[in-house]
Amino acid sequence: MIIYKVWLWFPLFSFFESSIDGKIPNEFEWPITVKEVKTNFYNLTNDIHGILAKMLFLVKIDNHELLKNENKT
């Protein structure tokens, strides 16, 4: 089983690391920070709130127009 893992992973990593000059550092960084996640979530909720507020405003206008039309008849 170990032979199959080496047979699969070694060529794969060799391919991805082929254009790197020098030693590859053994470090890891997250692609996005917690602050960025919070900021993006805040912006998304604000955008959704704005869209819902506009939709509600349009529904109120439509209902108001319907009430005007019903009162005329």
Cα dihedral 30→36→38→44 (10° resolution): -120
Residue 58 confidence (pLDDT): 76
- Is it the case that residue 73 has pLDDT exceeding 60? no
Q: What is the mean pLDDT of the chain?
A: 79
Residue 54, CB-side half-sphere exposure with 13 Å CA sphere: 6
| Sequence spans of domains, the chain | 2-72
Residue among 34, 47, 9 nearest 1 (CA): 9
How far, in Å, CA of 57 to CA of 53, rounded? 6
